[in-house]
Structure 1
Amino acid sequence: MPLSPEQLAEIEELRANPQPTLRAVSAGMEQHLYKPLEVLDHGFVRVIDYMGDDAAICQAARVSYGKGTKSVSNDEGLIRYLMRHWHSTPFEMCEIKLHVKLPVFVARQWIRHRTANVNEYSARYSILDREFYIPEPQHIAAQSVVNNQGRGEALTGEEAARVLEILKSDAARCYDHYEEMISQEDQQGLARELARMNLPANIYTQWYWKVDLHNLFHFLRLRADAHAQYEIRVYADAICNVVADWVPFAFKAFEDYRMGGATLSTKALDCVRRMLKGEDVSQENSGMSKGEWREFMGILEN
């Protein structure tokens, strides 16, 4: 179960008691507050709190840049200008606090984004639930032959079944031993902070994660990308759905200039100019390495 009965009761209580406020409110975000978006087999993302909206971004920009933004006639145009020219500070005026339930190995990837405030469920004080991420068969894949950090073709048949059985049995056995080691009524047992070290990386943890919009966009640009690991990408996709309702102008600009755009090197730009002039440009005369050329062609073909 992604949410415990206690958490569900808390959500119902919070949503049943709205409070009047004078602060800026995003109607789109209000619809998401406290509600869980289920991710993977036991995980979720839900909004606990937020600050700011599209107007807050523009307000901060106009205070900062003054007359320099008067040529921009509306909020959407200003936000697109800020995104296009990499003016990041106004986007830092918006913040979001999320409650996330996720497998530990996903959390270890996620925590690499060090520009957020994080408070994680403590297995020193509490006993972790018997909940493990077990991939769907279509996500059980072999190592990629072209990418050292990615997966390749999906396993099938007996090989897929063999791997799934190992994942399930190892997780169950480790948790059984975890429970056996923890203090019981008839034995002294092991401290929780030590017993947890026997748990597998696919067990679920939870945390509160608070981040400003600028750094959230950086997270989403990397983790909602098609090349990101599936298990973290689905969380990023869920967050994208929330952000699109929270700050629609900013998210559309982010999609256009970051997710859908591309950064080209000096050599790549030179190749584009030569191609437009009708020149025959190849990897050999481009000045790029094979890897750079492959990525460049991938941008042009997509």
Structure 2
Amino acid sequence: MPLTSEQQAEIDDLRSTTQPTLRAVAPGAEKHLYTAHPVLDHGFVRMVDYMGDDAAICQAARVSYGKGTKSVQNDEGLIRYLMRHWHSTPFEMCEIKLHVKLPVFVARQWIRHRTANVNEYSARYSILDREFYIPAPDALAAQSVVNNQGRGEALSGDEAQRVLRYLTDDAMRCYDHYEEMISQDGQQGLARELARMNLPANIYTQWYWKVDLHNLLHFLRLRADAHAQYEIRVYADAICSIVRDWVPFAYSAFEDYRLGGATLSATALACIQRMLKGEEVTQENSGMSKGEWREFMGVLE
């Protein structure tokens, strides 16, 4: 269950209470405010607050006042120009704050994006819940034979069942010992800040994560990519669904130029030019390594 009854009651209360405002409001963002989008088996992403919209990006780019818009078409065209030419500061005028519940090992990947403000649930002060990420059977995969940090084919049969049993049993046993160590029933009880070291990396944590749109899109470009680890990619996908409604022009440009586009090296571009002239280009005469050539052909195909 991603949300406790107390959390759901809080969300229902927040959504039932409205306040008058003079600030810019994005209707697409309003529908997502406080709503928890389930991710994995116990996780979620929910928008807590936001600032700005597509018009704010254009306003900053034109350094004007008021709405800063000439027309809807001009705004969309301007945003596409900014995205196409890798402008950054206009997109930094928009910010979003998310409440995320996620496994610790996903959080350790996520925190590598250092361009955000983060406040995480404290296991020094509070006791973590007995909630662990246990992959669905189809998410259990062998090590990739071509990518040292990727997955290969899914495990099957007895091996898959054994792995699932180990993951579940080990997590439960670690939590049992955690509870036993911090208990003050007939003993002093180990400090929570020490006992937490025995908890597995698949236990769930929570944090508030605030980031501007420019850095959020960089995060999504990497983590919503098909090559990203599945467990963080599903969080990125959930965030994409929010951003798509919040800043539709910016997200459409991002989807076109970043998610759906490709960056080519000078060598790769020269190979394309040779191909267009009818020349047969192979890995051996391309000037690329085998890995570069494989990636290049993946883009073309």
State the TM-score, normalized to the length of structure 1. 0.96
- The CA deviation string for residues 177-222 of structure 1, in whole angstroms up to 9 with x for no partner, is 0000003232111000000000000000000000000000000000
Name 2:285's counterpart in structure 1.
Answer: 285
- The CA deviation string for residues 266-286 of structure 1, in whole angstroms up to 9 with x for no partner, is 111111111111111111111
Partner SS for 1:74: helix
Q: How many residues align?
A: 297
Task: Please list every run of at least 4 consecutive aligned residues from structure 1 whose deviation after the TM superposition is greater than 4 angstroms.
Answer: none
Name 1:198's counterpart in structure 2.
Answer: 198
What is the rounded CA distance, in whole Å, between the counterparts of 1:145 and 1:282 in structure 2? 23
AA matched with 2:122? S
What is the rounded CA distance, in whole Å, between the counterparts of 1:198 and 1:292 in structure 2? 42
Deviation at 1:73, TM superposition (A): 5.9
Deviation at 1:6, TM superposition (A): 1.7
Name 1:24's counterpart in structure 2.
Answer: 24
Name 2:267's counterpart in structure 1.
Answer: 267
- The CA deviation string for residues 116-157 of structure 1, in whole angstroms up to 9 with x for no partner, is 000000000000000000000000111111110011110001
Q: Which segment drifts farther, 181-190 or 206-215?
A: 181-190
Structure 2: runs of 5 or more not aligned: none
Deviation at 1:110, TM superposition (A): 0.3
Partner SS for 2:153: strand
AA matched with 2:239? I
Partner SS for 1:6: helix
AA matched with 1:17? T
Deviation at 1:8, TM superposition (A): 1.1
- Residues 183 and 191 in structure 1, CA contact (< 8 A), matched pair in contact too: no
**For 1:125-136, what aligned pairs fall within 5 Å after superposition?**
125-136=125-136
AA matched with 1:153? E
What is the rounded CA distance, in whole Å, between the counterparts of 1:151 and 1:73 in structure 2? 43
> % of aligned pairs identical?
84
Name 2:104's counterpart in structure 1.
Answer: 104
1:213 maps onto 2:213 in alignment? yes
Name 2:50's counterpart in structure 1.
Answer: 50
Deviation at 1:63, TM superposition (A): 0.7
Distance 1:35 1:73, change over 3 A: closer
- Residues 117 and 211 in structure 1, CA contact (< 8 A), matched pair in contact too: yes
What is the rounded CA distance, in whole Å, between the counterparts of 2:46 and 2:280 in structure 1? 52
Deviation at 1:5, TM superposition (A): 1.8
- Residues 98 and 208 in structure 1, CA contact (< 8 A), matched pair in contact too: yes
What is the rounded CA distance, in whole Å, between the counterparts of 2:144 and 2:292 in structure 1? 19
**For 1:52-201, what aligned pairs fall within 5 Å after superposition?**
52-63=52-63, 74-201=74-201
Partner SS for 2:96: strand
What is the rounded CA distance, in whole Å, between the counterparts of 1:30 and 1:139 in structure 2? 33
Name 1:37's counterpart in structure 2.
Answer: 37
What is the rounded CA distance, in whole Å, between the counterparts of 2:115 and 2:10 in structure 1? 29
- Residues 175 and 199 in structure 1, CA contact (< 8 A), matched pair in contact too: yes
Q: Which segment drifts farther, 5-14 or 229-238?
A: 5-14
What is the rounded CA distance, in whole Å, between the counterparts of 1:142 and 1:267 in structure 2? 34
Partner SS for 1:142: strand
Deviation at 1:291, TM superposition (A): 1.1
AA matched with 2:62? R
Partner SS for 2:196: helix
Name 1:10's counterpart in structure 2.
Answer: 10
1:238 maps onto 2:219 in alignment? no
Deviation at 1:7, TM superposition (A): 1.2
Q: Which segment drifts farther, 246-255 or 289-298?
A: 289-298
